[in-house]
Amino acid sequence: MRRFALLFAFLVLCASPAVADDAATAQSVIRSQAEAFARDDAAAAYSYAAPEIRRRFLQADIFLRMVQNSYAPVYRHRSFEFGETRTADGKITQQVHIVDSDGVPWDALYTLEQQADGSLKIVGCTLIKIGQEV
């Protein structure tokens, strides 16, 4: 039993840098896309979207309009702060605490996946207004 506990502790310690690397990479991708939205740079923002998203929104300007209309707190905000990161089943989920341009707090849950070329792309984002029941 003690060997199992030591092995488990070793595996957790070895896995921690990978999780930290995943979090840093995911946060970099999300931050870069948010910065592109702030500049109204549709092409740059679109470049962080996974192929599934790009198939649904065939042009960068169409993607940007969808974000403006359906994800306004992501598009324009007062603050944008990273929360918890989780990695499971080859996907990374990253929580982001957002205060929108009107001062309303939101949580955004981003999901990212590694692509065949090794890049990390955003496959989805769920917005939840703080205090709102889901």
- CATH number for the domain harbouring residue 58: 3.10.450.50
Q: Is residue 110 part of a domain?
A: yes
Instruction: Using pLDDT thresholds of 50, 70 and 90, give the confidence band for residue 133.
Output: low
pTM, full prediction: 0.81
In a domain, 109, yes or no: yes
134 inside domain: no
Q: Look up tokens 């070793």; give the residue.
A: 10
Residues spanned by the domain of 103: 2-129
Please tell me the predicted confidence (pLDDT) of residue 50. 97
Average pLDDT over residues 1-6: 38
| pLDDT score for 132 | 65
Count of the separate structural domains present in the chain: 1
pLDDT on residue 89:
85
What are phi and psi for residue 48, nearest 5 degrees?
-90, -5
pLDDT of residue 90: 85
8 within a domain of the structure (yes/no) = yes
Least confident of 10-24, 35-49, 83-97, 98-112: 10-24
Each residue's pLDDT tens digit, 33-85: 999 999 999 999 999 999 999 999 999 999 999 999 999 999 999 999 999 99
Measuring CA to CA, how many Å separate 78 from each of 17, 34, 53, 74, 131? Answer: 31, 12, 26, 10, 18
